[in-house]
Amino acid sequence: MTQDDFMRLVDSRYRSCCQVMTRKGMEYSRNDDKLHNFKRAAKMLGVTPEMALVGMMAKHLVSILDMVDDLQYRDSRPAPEVLAEKMNDTHNYFYLLEALLSEKSKYRGA
């Protein structure tokens, strides 16, 4: 893959992630808090919002690992739309985790 091809892929993924984040933001936010779902899940589970997020993200990572296994052991490739969905979701969970960590640092005076 050339550098230009790689940068086009990165740019395309970023734009796609932003579209998904915008579309799903309305569904998962409440009271103007983009991170509401993770905070609410954390209270339900008795963990931190960051751990709640990691738990939710795990299903996407498992799905990606299964795709890698399928490619390695079965020569089976995921459908492009399935791969795109899992990549978007995983990227977005990392963005959301960074937001939780940044918010926590902000309130601790760091």
Strand partners, 30: 33
CB-based burial of residue 98 (10 Å sphere; 0-12 exposed, 13-18 middle, 19+ buried)?
A: exposed
Domain coverage including residue 98 = 3-107
| Phi, psi angle pair for 33, to nearest 5° | -115, 105
Per the structure, the count of domains in the chain is: 1
User: Does the pLDDT of residue 90 top 90, yes or no?
Assistant: yes
Mean pLDDT (the chain, rounded): 93
The per-residue pLDDT for 104 is 84
Query: Rounded mean pLDDT of 63-76?
Result: 94
| Phi, psi angle pair for 30, to nearest 5° | -155, 140
pLDDT band, very low/low/confident/very high, at 108 (cuts 50, 70, 90): low
- Torsion over CA: 6, 89, 34, 26 (sign): positive
Query: Rounded mean pLDDT of 15-40?
Result: 91
